Amino acid sequence: MAGQRSAAFHIMHEVHKAHPDFMPAGLAEWIEGLNESGATQARQLMPEIQLAIREIVLTTLRAEHGQEWWREGVPRRIRVDVVQTQEASEEAGERESFFDLLDYKHIAEDQWGLFDQSLGMGEGKSKKVGLSGSTS
């Protein structure tokens, strides 16, 4: 019975997209729940995605720059921010554990030749990637 109800709401949702005035009882609440479910799922995936990006970026920097990966591979403004965050933190850890997701984006932009293939943008794409994933 729950599967039929869900299927019915999926169909009603599609009709609602084409005809916004179509709003049977319960559809608004179902849509809201769908939105919350998607957001929850995205939040659950973020740590895994960030770890994968971290691994790609750090492995690539270390392979390219060896022991000098920090100075040669990480732009100065990011190094300064990371060290400040590390010093302000109550937690111990290697400096690379204090990068945030946007730091990886800026590192990749700064050295796009190293990352154009590994981060999935491919040839011919702009190195500037917006937060929405669009290129500029």
Nearest CA to 31 among 49, 59, 6? 6
The predicted structure's pLDDT at residue 68? 95
Sign (positive/negative) of CA torsion 94, 67, 119, 115?
A: positive
The predicted structure's pLDDT at residue 58? 93
The predicted structure's pLDDT at residue 40? 66
Spatial distance between the Cα atoms of 52 and 45, rounded to a whole number of angstroms: 11
Written as tens digits, the pLDDT of the chain (136 aa) is: 556 677 677 777 788 888 888 888 888 887 887 766 666 666 777 788 888 888 999 999 999 999 999 999 999 999 999 999 999 988 888 888 899 888 998 998 888 888 877 775 545 444 444 433 444 4
**Where are the chain's structural domains?**
50-125
Residues 6+ positions from 98 with CB-CB distance below 8 Å: 82, 85, 86, 89
State how far Cα 104 lies from the chain centre. Answer: 10
State how far Cα 134 lies from the chain centre. Answer: 13
Rounded to two decimals, the pTM is 0.59
The predicted structure's pLDDT at residue 120? 59
